[in-house]
């Protein structure tokens, strides 16, 4: 549907998915209303395409593209995830071109394999296998000093590789953010007003760039600092966490817009 009245971009863990149960069901009233109004729901996550291909069906938005690996790539509408990609191959080649004393200090998901990913993340084996199916980025553990990390990032930067810290993992990619992909997808739908919801620092650019931004309460993490747009009400915060807060925020905006 081109030119819908709104397009929604949302983070998953701790935002649309409950922090403990990973269920979106508390947000079902809002999800159903978006579907009835023909409003595209775009998942925007650090998860891989393989992980999101399954989640889109559960949530009910398999007919929409999804932003994967923190904006490093896209999963197209209705498509299945593929193993590997030229971007990931190039990324690993750049990583292996780093001086060996620095390379040995980074333990990426490709080094760990599905079994190692299960061990460091606590994911069940089947889910760890999906999380290890990278196409656009390479998360990993850093085992060196801050000085060594600076040298490591400089060596990667010379090859066009960027890095972002998120919780335990350092994630390498060839660039791209959730906000970049948001612009790309919104243009496909005729650039309708955009609502973006998230709860973590890697959602910040997306929330600020949207017409309407929502910071979902996250009692399990550090609260986002005050963002541009909060003073004039363009960016709001929920009182309830996770999908409960998500549900209220989306329904309130739909009511306000008369959708």
Active site positions, annotated: 11
Residue 198 sits at φ, ψ, to 5 deg, of -165, 175
Q: At what angle do helices 28-36 and 242-257 cross, to 10 degrees?
A: 40
Between CA 164 and CA 127 the distance in angstroms is: 23
Cα 21 to Cα 79, 129, 254: the distances in Å are: 26, 20, 27
Q: Is 256 exposed, middle or buried (0-12, 13-18, 19+ CB in 10 A)?
A: exposed
CB count in 10 Å sphere of residue 117? 24
Residues 157 and 110 sit within 8 Å (Cβ to Cβ): no
Between CA 122 and CA 120 the distance in angstroms is: 6
Quick one: which of 141, 114, 140, 138 has its CA closest to 128? 114
Structure tokens at 89: 């191959």
* Structure-token match 């807060």, residue found: 245
Residue 92 sits at φ, ψ, to 5 deg, of -65, -35
Between CA 182 and CA 163 the distance in angstroms is: 20
HSE-up of residue 214 (Cα within 13 Å, Cβ side): 29
């Amino acid at each position: 549907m081109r030119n819908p009245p709104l397009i929604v971009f949302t983070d998953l863990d701790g935002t649309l998915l409950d922090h403990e149960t990973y269920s979106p069901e508390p947000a079902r009233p809002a999800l159903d209303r978006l579907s009835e109004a023909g409003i595209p729901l775009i998942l925007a996550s650090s998860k891989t395409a393989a992980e999101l291909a399954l989640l889109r069906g559960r949530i009910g938005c398999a007919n929409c593209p999804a932003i994967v690996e923190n904006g490093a790539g896209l999963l197209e509408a209705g498509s299945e995830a593929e193993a590997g990609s030229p971007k990931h191959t190039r990324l690993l080649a750049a990583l292996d071109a780093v001086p060996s004393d620095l390379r040995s200090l980074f333990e990426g998901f490709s080094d760990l394999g599905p079994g190692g990913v299960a061990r460091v993340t606590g994911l069940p084996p089947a889910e760890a296998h999906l999380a290890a199916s990278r196409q656009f980025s390479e998360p990993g553990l850093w085992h060196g000093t801050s000085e060594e990390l600076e040298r490591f990032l400089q060596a990667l930067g010379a090859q066009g590789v960027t890095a972002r810290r998120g919780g335990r993992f350092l994630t390498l990619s060839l660039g791209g953010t959730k906000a970049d992909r948001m612009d790309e997808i919104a243009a496909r739908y005729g650039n309708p007003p955009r609502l973006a919801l998230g709860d973590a620092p890697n959602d910040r650019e997306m929330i600020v760039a949207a017409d309407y931004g929502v910071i979902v309460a996250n009692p399990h993490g550090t609260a986002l600092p005050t963002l541009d747009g909060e003073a004039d009400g363009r960016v709001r915060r929920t009182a309830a966490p996770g999908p409960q807060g998500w549900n209220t925020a989306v329904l309130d905006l739909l009511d306000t817009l008369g959708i």
